Structure 1
Amino acid sequence: MDVARRNNIRVTGRADGPVVVLAHGFGCDQNMWRLVVPALANDYRVVLFDYVGSGRSDASAWTEDRYSSLDGYARDVVEVVEELDLRDVTFVGHSVSAMVGVLAAAAVPERFSRLVMVAPSPCYIDEDGYRGGFDAGDIDELLESLESNYLGWSAAMAPVIMGNPDRPELGEELTTSFCATDPDMARVFARTTFLSDSRDDLKSVAVPTLVLECAQDVIAPREVGAYVHAAIPGSRLVTLDATGHCPQLSAPEATAEAILGFVGAAR
């Protein structure tokens, strides 16, 4: 198995620096980190990759059985860090990848030393005593719309997810990214993402963790950030003065500054 080709691994930055692995969310790829990478690359070895079924990964390696659970994506992460024999990894996961990172760190704890969770959500559906941002009917409707007309759903939803209506180019970029994803693979990833409940996994986190939320985010409201922060003892919660679910695009300088401040302080 050629993991480097399968996951389109790219390594940049300082060759002998501490390792930062950047992981993208649903409908995206490693290009979503491009505005943050230069700030990290000065002092860190930065590893980027695409999950199988996203970006320039090897789509022939995709199977519905594997990628119908977050464990399949966590296996991608584990295989990437093992392929490069990475240690003392700071894993930066956006959106659903924040929880993928939790699973990967639990699987091979000897390889991970820090987690940065960017706009995380362990569960998207509201329950008594928990606000995920959506009720079950909302999620069912979202998935039905996505499955019946993925391109139309992408054009309608990407700008909402991105936020920042005064900067339409950001929503257009996310729409393009969504539309570049194979619809069948995207449908599976969407169901895996929006129907997941990883709240119990938070208790397994045993490394320094930064929870990075946006001031306004329709996908991961601030109640979710507070929940994740409370569930991980000793974690740090930082609220960016940013709108939308993708601060690495809408507020890259602030996002990079928060990551660097956390990683540097942890050393």
Structure 2
Amino acid sequence: MDVFHRNHVTVTGQPDGRVVVLSHGFGCDQNIWRLVVPALAARFKVVLFDHVGAGRSDMTAWREERYSSLNGYADDVVALLDELDLRDVVFVGHSVSAMIGVLAAADAPSRFGGLVLLTPSPCYLDDGDYRGGFSRADIDELLESLESNYLGWSATMAPVIMGNPDRPELGQELTNSFCRTDPRIARVFARATFLSDNRADLALVTAPTLVVECTQDAIAPREVGAYVHASVPGSALVTLDATGHCPQLSAPEATARAIAEFAAVA
């Protein structure tokens, strides 16, 4: 299948510039990057896409058996890079897409010149000494609420995920984005996201890697950022003076600067 159609691929920026691929997280689409794209497009070739089931992707391509794990999404990323014959790309994965990028880079290391893991979490569940931020009861309650009343869950959770209660328009934007997602698809993606454990995959990363965290993030607290940084060999860590899980909306200038500075030298 043509990935331009399947994943609604859009390309902007410098035709001969280094390629920066922007990959959105759960409940979002490529529109979430709009505030950082102009700064990146001034220096790089920027590729955006929607995961199958999100945004303007081909909804007929969605299959529960394929997308019930993050590997299905990672396979799509590799297929996209293959079809566009992109190499030495800097892949920017937001939230769950950070781990999708880790999996894709392990499958096709020659395509990746660098990874930016933006507010990543390899495992949301607390496990022994590892603090993912959620107990199993927390996750079960979250998934049960999502499955029983997706629109109500979206209206409650989106402002928590976004943070910045003094800027309610940001939470409203994320709520609207969640509510545009088919609830059936959202339920499957949520399970793949919140029940995944990719901690062992971090040690397999060979590409230069930048971990970007926020000073306050209810979904991926700083303990998680420190864990990812310690687990990815040779990675760098940047802590943005920002709150919430979506700094490309709440702190776009700082987010674009961190990505651009890394992409220029990775």
* TM-score (ref. length: structure 2): 0.99
Quote the residue 2:216 is aligned against.
216
Quote the residue 2:6 is aligned against.
6
**Aligned residue identity for 2:103:** L
- How far did 1:59 drift? 0.4
Deviations 1:123-176 (A, max 9, x none): 000011100000000000000000000000000100000000000000000000
Equivalent residue of 1:92, what SS? strand
- How far did 1:262 drift? 1.2
Quote the residue 1:62 is aligned against.
62
Percent identity reads 74
User: C-alpha distance in 2, partners of 1:77/1:111?
Assistant: 10
> Residues 20 and 263 of structure 2 are in contact (CA less than 8 Å); yes or no, is this contact kept in structure 1?
no
Equivalent residue of 1:207, what SS? coil
Quote the residue 2:144 is aligned against.
144
Matches within 5 A, 1:96-111: 96-111=96-111
Quote the residue 1:157 is aligned against.
157
Deviations 1:247-267 (A, max 9, x none): 00000000001111111132x
The RMSD of aligned alpha carbons is: 0.5
> Residues 131 and 223 of structure 2 are in contact (CA less than 8 Å); yes or no, is this contact kept in structure 1?
yes
> Residues 19 and 47 of structure 2 are in contact (CA less than 8 Å); yes or no, is this contact kept in structure 1?
yes
**Aligned residue identity for 1:92:** V
- How far did 1:2 drift? 1.5
Quote the residue 2:255 is aligned against.
255
Is 1:40 equivalent to 2:40 in the alignment? yes
Matches within 5 A, 1:170-185: 170-185=170-185
> Residues 92 and 115 of structure 2 are in contact (CA less than 8 Å); yes or no, is this contact kept in structure 1?
yes
Quote the residue 2:92 is aligned against.
92
**Aligned residue identity for 2:200:** D
Is 1:127 equivalent to 2:127 in the alignment? yes
User: C-alpha distance in 1, partners of 2:255/2:172?
Assistant: 21
Deviating beyond 3 angstroms after TM superposition, the runs of 4 or more aligned structure 1 residues are: none
Unaligned runs of 5+ in 1: none
Deviations 1:85-143 (A, max 9, x none): 10111000000000000010111111101000000000000011100000000000000
Equivalent residue of 2:129, what SS? coil
User: C-alpha distance in 1, partners of 2:154/2:194?
Assistant: 15
User: C-alpha distance in 1, partners of 2:6/2:102?
Assistant: 22
Q: Paired residues, what number?
A: 266
User: C-alpha distance in 1, partners of 2:99/2:190?
Assistant: 14
Matches within 5 A, 1:216-255: 216-255=216-255
**Aligned residue identity for 1:96:** V
- How far did 1:201 drift? 0.3
User: C-alpha distance in 1, partners of 2:119/2:78?
Assistant: 22
User: C-alpha distance in 1, partners of 2:167/2:67?
Assistant: 33
Equivalent residue of 1:52, what SS? coil
